[in-house]
Structure 1
C-alpha cells in the first residue's frame, strides 16, 4: 500500500465544489450523513455547505492530498461539550478512488490528536453503520471501543440496519501514543 501524505485544512470555499459529485454518488454517501441522502442538486449541497461553514463549536477539516492539493473528503468533531470534555467524530472520504488506501485511518488519528492533544477532550464518540465493516475495523484499529448497538437506527436502500456506538477515552489514546502524529 502506498503511503499517502495528507493535510487537514480548515474547511472553506475552496473545498465546496469537491462535494458536488460526492453527494450525487450513491455508493459514497450510502453510510454517511442522513443529510446527504436528501441532497439531489448543487443548490442542496450549497445550502448544507453554507450551514457547515457557519457552525460554531465544530471542528471542520478538509482532507487534502499533500502532493496534488486535491480535496478527497472532510472530517472533524461536532457536538462538543465543554462541561463533559467530549465530542463526536465524523469523517467522509467522498472521493471513492481514494478508498482502501489508509487515508481514513490516518485522518482519524490526526483528528484524535486535535481532540485530545489540542482541545483537551477526555472522550470522543462516533456512530457507524453495522454494514460498514471496513469502517468498524478501522475505528477499532484507531482505539475506539464498542459501547452499544442502536437498533434499526438507519434506513438505507429501503431497509433498516443497526448502528454501533463507539468511543475512545484520553487515557486509551495516550497509551497508543497517537499524540506524536505529525500534522502537515
Structure 2
C-alpha cells in the first residue's frame, strides 16, 4: 500500500515534447494568463475567478501538499509554460487517485503536449508510485480530451448526468479510469 505522503518527493517527468516540473510560483504570470483563458473555464467547468494573491498563495503552497502532485507542463524545447497536470483526491487505502490536466490556451492544443503529459503521469502513477487506479471526469462537450484519455488507456466507466450548467445548457460528465492491470496502449 502506498504511503500517506506518497508525493513528498515529487519527481520531474521528462518526455520528448514536455517536461513536468513540480508546480511553484515561478510560473505565476503564465499561470494567471492560462486561468484567464475563456476556453479553459468552459473545458474545466470553472465559473470561479482567480485573483493574483490567491493564485500566488496556491502556487507557493504546492510543495507542502504530500497527498497530491501538481506539475507545471513545460515545453521541452524552450521551457514555455503549457499548463498543469495534477494527481489529487489520493486514497492510500485503495491505491487510487484522480487525474486532471489543463492546457494554457489554443497555442498548446493539438500538438501532442496533453497526450504526452498524461502518459508521463500515468507511467509514474501506475509504476514507481505504486498506485492501482487513476480516474478522471471529462465533460461530454470535450471529445478532444476524451480521445487523448482513450489513447492513454483510460476506459469509459459511466456518465454523471447534468452535472454542469454552462451558458444555460446542462452537460454530462463522463467518468473514466485506468488500472495498473489494464493493458497500456503503445506511445
| TM-score, normalization by structure 2 | 0.84
Could you say which residue in structure 2 is the equivalent of 1:97?
107
Count of residue correspondences: 173
Could you say which residue in structure 2 is the equivalent of 1:176?
184
Distance 2:118 2:36 in 1: 24
Q: CA deviation at 1:44?
A: 4.4
Q: 1:64 aligns with which of 74, 89, 95?
A: 74
Matched, 1:18 2:26: no
Q: Does the Cα contact within 8 Å between 1:125 and 1:167 map onto a contact in 2?
A: yes
Q: CA deviation at 1:76?
A: 2.0
Distance 2:159 2:104 in 1: 26
Structure 2 stretches lacking a partner, 5+ long: 1-14
Could you say which residue in structure 2 is the equivalent of 1:127?
137
Distance 2:137 2:49 in 1: 21
Structure with the higher fraction of residues in helix conformation: 1
RMSD over aligned Cα atoms: 2.1
Q: CA deviation at 1:162?
A: 0.4
Could you say which residue in structure 1 is the equivalent of 2:166?
156
Q: CA deviation at 1:52?
A: 4.7
Q: CA deviation at 1:46?
A: 3.2
Structure 1 stretches lacking a partner, 5+ long: none
Distance 2:65 2:121 in 1: 18
SS in 1 for 2:136: strand
SS in 2 for 1:16: helix
Distance 1:67 1:86 in 2: 33
